[in-house]
């Protein structure tokens, strides 16, 4: 039995679109995080909200960077 070639679960045509969308969402969440930090006082801040916003922004920026590299031909 011949081995099957490894293929991406996401079609290559979608890479640029996914890169733009995920980076845009990640940057918006990052901006929201910075605005939240700058406008809230120490007493009204929520650690859970900060960690959640930071983690979600990080995931979107990470996958957006991955798809940006993939769409430009750098296969990681």
For residue range 49-58, list pLDDT tens digits in order: 999 999 999 9
Q: Report d(CA 63, CA 76) in Å as an integer.
A: 12
Counting every residue written for the chain, the total comes to 76
Question: Looking only at Cα atoms, what is the longest distance across the chain?
Answer: 65
Contact between 64 and 22 under an 8 Å Cβ cutoff? The reply is: yes
The rounded distance, in Å, linking the Cα atoms of 15 and 72 is: 9
DSSP structure string for 57-71? HHHHHHHHHHHHHHH
Under 8 Å between Cβ of 61 and 30: yes
Give residue 57's pLDDT: 98
How confident is the model at residue 52, as a pLDDT? 97
Q: How would residue 75 be classed by pLDDT, with cut points 50, 70 and 90?
A: confident
């Amino acid at each position: 039995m011949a081995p099957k070639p490894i293929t991406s679960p996401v079609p290559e045509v979608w890479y640029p679109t996914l890169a733009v969308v995920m980076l845009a969402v990640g940057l918006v969440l990052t901006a929201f995080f910075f605005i939240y930090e700058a406008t809230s006082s120490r007493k009204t801040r929520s650690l859970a909200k900060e960690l959640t916003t930071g983690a979600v922004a990080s995931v979107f920026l990470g996958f957006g960077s991955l798809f940006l590299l993939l769409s430009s031909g750098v296969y990681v």
